[in-house]
């Protein structure tokens, strides 16, 4: 490590010292991901890469083949007799509670007498190899008595079957506002779900210890939740279960609650056999068993004035919750809180129904209901603009929340004041830098001269609330250790899934202690080090854990500063840490030297830190409060070209402008913006989940489920971070960057819709649904063409009728004149 600094033989002046300190920073710098080299060289260890302990066994799950049925008989003899099998366990073998639900106790680890979706685990088999376990799991003979199955949200809605009670939010008098509005857009929209498709599948490796203890190495975003589930399943206390996670190969929300099943099943086997057991799902089983992003179905009625300003709105949302509650209630809550997206809604009614379907229990996914809530208002505004023959950007801007000096239009539908609205400035900057108006004119010219290929353009904004809606989750802890050589080890409650949280927290600690980044290392997230952690979710990972780590490092910095003053005199306020040195008046002390001296003087060189986000509150009964610490903003412009004969399309160019506040690491944040955008584009265009008539998910492998590839990225991809500073006291005034960029992909969907609308001169609303697959686009093109054909035919009929009527009138006039002439004669 290099902590040296060139100091002239004559020493440094006070001004030079101040300049050295002022010019140095570890935060706000673009630094490589802390595991980047390990990733690209294949040295980064994931759960399945950890060398297996002697005697390790492998498990696999036996799954239901029916969507809704009672188990009438189960013969597992063939499973037990299969090659390599050591043991088979069912629900009866669980010594504690047979449940892995994160909120409600409605999610069994292993189904006992009732199965509620195809793919639900019924038993777990343990064998001497992964392949033997998987083969054996398919040998079971199970008899069922089938029951009626609700396979769609509409089915569940008709039966009034919900996993949690319906939710309703109302502000103002939407009914009156809609009745008085001179114009309306009404309609329906369906937006599909999305598979998380993490590169590393679900996996847990359970290692039994002495005195009924259990170590679980688990690919999870929520080690503490895994600790609780395993403890409850085994009937032991939490302090007997230790969960560790160094890194995940992706999570995206799919490992927040859904990793619990795998952790509990592996631990159950290890508990009984007193041998290490690894449970690793192959891709097909992973997709068949686990929940996805909730698909939504909407019914909307939005009233507006002659200019396009929204006067009132009524929105109804049906969620495919799946067979159990899982996280559907908070997903629906966040969806309700994000229906406004960037727009002020004075009078609004929003309803959300978490429909119980006999499909996988849907769960968290990047955005956590926010994207599904926000897209419906964008869809309605797109309709309004077309109906008024206006550019959608102008209607969007007209309906933006007010600027900060206009409090009358700066309160959300749930009662939170917006103190930092920068959408006007951000959108204006992007409109200019993307040459939006010029390109709009060029696209109109292109479409007039091309019949088959049509281009589309859209600019869409994002406002996304940052914090857990459940207030008590907004807390974090950290430990910072300084060793006598000046190196630093950090442990915190956040989990690394590739998003760079460890890198950012290393930067925060290095900056606080005034040392270089290579002197700081993060150890694996471990429930025995930082207890009672929250999930790394809701875009809060760096905010919460960064503040906790900063708190711990700051405590150590003060201790060292006080010790330096004891050695050299002066006040603590005169001590500065920077460039690997400690500055006190004209004294410049290498950081390791001061640390060694402090150790010899018995100064404590480790500290814990804690942080709880202030000012948050939420009332789930009234759906009002101040649930978010702040808002992240962004906007995107996308240009597409569509083949109207096939529905095929290509993204030509995208411009993204995102508000990351004072970015902790611009390189990592830019990568998150790019990745979030592409993932959102996949959700809205290519990633289609499809269940057959029996309720079996048929898109359960990359052969049938299409995530975006490198070829789907635009050739012209322009990404910038907006220059801004968080008005809230976040970590170094930065802003979250995990989830909000996914909503930037709205511009792709609405650019496609714009291209389809151009087929008939933007006279009709394309009934485009999401995902906008090639088939969906083609159906939408044909629908618009049919609308135009019907209108043309109606016009022709009217013209013929008008000509016929005119001819009759002429003939009558001529006959009248002839009769008059005859009478005169």
Give the Cα separation of 409 and 424 in Å (integer): 13
Q: Which residues contact 472 (CB under 8 A, 6 or more apart)?
A: none
Give the Cα separation of 643 and 649 in Å (integer): 6
Give the Cα separation of 415 and 464 in Å (integer): 15
Tokens of 738: 């995990």
Cβ atoms of 151 and 691 within 8 Å: the answer is yes
Place of tokens 């002495």: 210
Look at residues 468, 629, 609 and name the one whose alpha carbon lies nearest to residue 535: 468
Helix (H) or strand (E) holding 376: helix 370-388
Give the Cα separation of 278 and 52 in Å (integer): 9
The torsion of the CA quartet 162, 166, 167, 173, rounded to 10 degrees, works out to 150
Look at residues 98, 56, 50 and name the one whose alpha carbon lies nearest to residue 274: 56
What ranges in 240-323 are assigned the alpha helix state H?
A: 259-273, 283-289
Look at residues 513, 341, 318, 537 and name the one whose alpha carbon lies nearest to residue 423: 341
The torsion of the CA quartet 171, 173, 174, 176, rounded to 10 degrees, works out to -170
Look at residues 477, 492, 518 and name the one whose alpha carbon lies nearest to residue 612: 477
Q: Which residues are catalytic?
A: 739
CA 365 from centroid of its chain's CA atoms: 5
Give the Cα separation of 322 and 191 in Å (integer): 16
CA 140 from centroid of its chain's CA atoms: 37
Place of tokens 């999930």: 535
Give the Cα separation of 381 and 616 in Å (integer): 31
Half-sphere exposure for 681 (CA within 13 Å, toward CB): 26
Give the Cα separation of 639 and 715 in Å (integer): 11
Give the Cα separation of 494 and 526 in Å (integer): 10
**β-bridge partners, 619:** 624
Whether residue 771 is preceded by a cis peptide bond, meaning omega within 30 degrees of 0, is yes
Look at residues 265, 260, 288 and name the one whose alpha carbon lies nearest to residue 64: 288
Q: How many CB atoms lie within 10 A of CB 554?
A: 16
Tokens of 376: 């419906």
Cβ atoms of 454 and 759 within 8 Å: the answer is yes
Give the Cα separation of 332 and 321 in Å (integer): 10
Q: Which residues contact 783 (CB under 8 A, 6 or more apart)?
A: 766, 767
Tokens of 604: 């404590």
Q: Which residues contact 52 (CB under 8 A, 6 or more apart)?
A: 276, 278
């Amino acid at each position: 490590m290099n902590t040296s600094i060139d100091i002239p033989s004559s020493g440094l002046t006070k001004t030079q010292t101040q300049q050295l300190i002022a010019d140095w920073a570890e935060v706000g710098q673009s630094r490589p991901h802390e595991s980047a080299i390990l990733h690209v060289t294949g040295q980064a260890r994931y759960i399945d890469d950890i060398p297996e302990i002697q005697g390790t066994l492998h498990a696999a799950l036996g799954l239901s083949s029916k969507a809704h049925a009672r188990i009438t008989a189960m013969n597992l003899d063939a499973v037990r007799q299969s090659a390599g099998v050591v043991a088979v366990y069912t629900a009866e073998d669980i010594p504690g509670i047979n449940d892995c639900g994160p909120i409600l106790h409605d999610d069994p680890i292993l189904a006992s007498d009732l199965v509620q979706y195809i793919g639900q685990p019924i038993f777990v088999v343990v064998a001497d190899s992964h392949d033997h376990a998987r083969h054996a799991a398919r040998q079971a003979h199970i008899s069922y008595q089938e029951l009626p199955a609700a396979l769609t949200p509409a089915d569940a809605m008709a039966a009034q079957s919900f996993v949690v009670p319906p939710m309703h939010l109302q502000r103002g008098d939407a009914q009156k506002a809609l009745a008085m509005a001179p114009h309306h857009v009404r309609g329906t929209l369906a937006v599909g779900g999305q598979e998380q498709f993490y590169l590393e599948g679900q996996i847990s490796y359970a290692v039994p210890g002495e005195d009924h203890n259990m170590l679980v190495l688990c690919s999870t975003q929520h080690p503490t939740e895994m600790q609780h589930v395993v403890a409850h399943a085994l009937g032991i206390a939490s302090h007997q279960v230790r969960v560790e996670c160094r890194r995940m190969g992706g999570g995206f929300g799919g490992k927040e609650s859904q990793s619990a099943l795998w952790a509990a099943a592996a631990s159950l086997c290890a508990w009984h056999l007193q041998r290490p057991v690894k449970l690793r799902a192959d891709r097909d089983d992973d997709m068949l068993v686990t929940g996805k992003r909730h698909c939504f179905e909407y019914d909307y009625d939005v009233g507006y004035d002659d200019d396009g300003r929204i006067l009132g709105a009524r929105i109804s949302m049906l969620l495919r919750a799946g067979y159990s509650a899982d996280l559907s209630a908070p997903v629906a809550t966040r969806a309700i809180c994000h229906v406004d997206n960037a727009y002020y809604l004075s009078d609004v009614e929003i309803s959300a129904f978490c429909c119980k379907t006999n499909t996988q229990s849907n769960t968290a996914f990047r955005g956590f209901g926010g994207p599904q809530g926000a897209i419906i208002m964008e869809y309605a505004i797109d309709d309004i603009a077309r109906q008024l023959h206006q550019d959608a950007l102008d209607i969007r801007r007209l309906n933006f929340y007010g600027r900060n000096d206009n409090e009358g239009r700066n309160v959300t539908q749930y009662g939170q004041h917006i103190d930092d609205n920068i959408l006007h400035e951000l959108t204006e900057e992007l409109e200019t830098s993307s040459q939006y108006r010029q390109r709009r004119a060029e696209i109109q010219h292109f479409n007039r001269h091309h019949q088959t290929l049509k281009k589309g353009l859209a600019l869409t904004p994002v406002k996304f609330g940052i914090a857990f809606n459940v207030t008590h989750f907004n807390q974090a802890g950290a430990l910072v250790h300084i060793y006598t050589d000046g190196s630093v080890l950090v442990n915190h409650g956040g989990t690394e899934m590739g998003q760079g949280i460890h890198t950012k927290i290393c930067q925060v600690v290095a900056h606080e202690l005034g040392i270089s980044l290579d002197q700081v290392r993060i150890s694996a997230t471990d429930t025995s080090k930082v207890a009672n952690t929250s999930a790394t979710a809701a875009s809060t990972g760096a905010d919460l854990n960064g503040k906790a780590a900063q708190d711990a490092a700051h405590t150590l910095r003060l201790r060292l500063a006080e010790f330096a003053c004891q050695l050299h005199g002066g006040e603590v306020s005169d001590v500065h840490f920077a460039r690997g040195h400690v500055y006190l008046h004209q004294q410049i002390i290498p950081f390791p030297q001061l640390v060694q001296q402090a150790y010899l003087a018995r100064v404590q060189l480790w500290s814990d830190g804690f942080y709880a986000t202030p000012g948050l509150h939420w009332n789930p009964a009234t759906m009002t409060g101040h649930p978010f610490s702040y808002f992240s903003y962004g906007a995107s412009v996308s240009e597409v070209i569509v083949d109207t004969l096939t529905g095929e399309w290509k993204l030509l160019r995208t411009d993204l402008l995102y508000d990351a506040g004072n970015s902790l690491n611009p390189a990592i944040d830019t990568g998150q913006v790019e990745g979030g955008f592409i993932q959102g584009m996949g959700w809205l265009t290519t990633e289609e989940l499809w269940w057959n008539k029996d309720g079996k998910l048929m898109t359960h492998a990359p052969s049938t489920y299409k995530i975006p590839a490198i070829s789907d990225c635009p050739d012209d991809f322009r990404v910038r971070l907006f220059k801004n500073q968080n008005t809230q006291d976040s970590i170094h005034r930065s802003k979250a960057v995990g989830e909000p960029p996914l909503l930037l992909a709205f511009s792709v969907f609405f650019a496609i819709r714009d291209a389809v609308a151009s087929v008939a001169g933007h006279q009709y609303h394309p009934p485009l649904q999401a995902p906008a697959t090639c088939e969906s686009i083609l159906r939408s093109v044909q629908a618009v063409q049919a609308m135009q054909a019907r209108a043309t035919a109606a016009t022709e009929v009217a013209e013929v009728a008008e000509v016929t009527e005119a001819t009759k009138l002429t003939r009558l006039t001529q006959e009248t004149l002839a009769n008059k002439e005859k009478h005169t004669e």
